[in-house]
Amino acid sequence: MRLERTEKIMKMFADKVIRDARSVKKIPLDYDLKVYPSGALELNFQTEDYAKFVDKGVQGSTGKAHPKDKVVRGQGSPYKYTTKMPPTKALDKWVVRKGLKGTRDAKGKFVKRKSIVFGVARSIFLYGLPATKFFTNAFESNYKKLPADVTRAYANDVTKFIKATAKEIIG
C-alpha cells in the first residue's frame, strides 16, 4: 500500500518545522523521510552536531550565573562543560560574523581578536550557554497540529487502497 497523502503530510510537517526553526536560528537543518513497503514511515531530522547544544543550552563549569545575568545558563540541560573549553575555531568565525574586531580595553590598550575569542570561550566554559529551544519549540508547535492531518491523510490513503483492491477483485 502506497501512503501518498500521508507521505505528503509528513513532508509538509518536516518542511514547516525546519522553516520555523530557521526563522529563529540560521543553522543548517534537513530531514530524511523513509517510507517502507509495510506502510511504516520514519522521519529523521538532521543538523550540525553543535545544534543540540544551541537548542538545549550547556551548563557552565561553575554552575553559577554570569555576573551580568540573573539566571544560570543551560539550567536543566543534559550538557555541561567540565574539562574542555568550547572550540575557539568555531568561535573565531562567530566573532568575525558579529563584526567584533580588535578593540581597546579600559586602559586604552589594543586587544587582538584572538584575545577576544579566548575571552568568549572562557566565559562560555565558566557560565555556559542559554537554551534557545529553536528546534524544540518549532517541532512541538507543529507536532500538536500533526495528528489530525495524518489521520485524515491516512484514511484517504486506505480508502484509495481498498477501492483499488476491490476494483481488481471485482473486475
Per-residue pLDDT tens over the stretch 38-56: 778 899 999 998 899 999 9
* Better-scored residue on pLDDT, 165 or 117: 117
What is the pTM (predicted TM-score) of this model? Answer: 0.78
For residue 165, give the amino acid letter. Answer: T
Class for domain 4-52+133-170, per CATH?
A: alpha beta
The residues, ordered by sequence, that sit 6+ positions from 70 with a Cβ below 8 Å of its Cβ are none
Residue spans per domain, the chain: 4-52+133-170, 58-129
pLDDT score, position 162 = 83
Choose the weakest-confidence range: 62-66, 128-132, 135-139.
62-66
pLDDT score, position 57 = 95
* Bridging pattern class, strands 110-111 and 128-129: unpaired
Nearest in space to 75 (alpha carbons), one of 86, 67, 84, 64: 64
Grid cell of 61 as nine digits: 563549569
Q: How far apart are CA 35 and CA 1, in angstroms?
A: 11
Q: How far apart are CA 160 and CA 46, in angstroms?
A: 32
Grid cell of 130 as nine digits: 542559554
Grid cell of 69 as nine digits: 545575568
DSSP E strands in 99-140: the ranges are 103-104, 110-111, 128-129
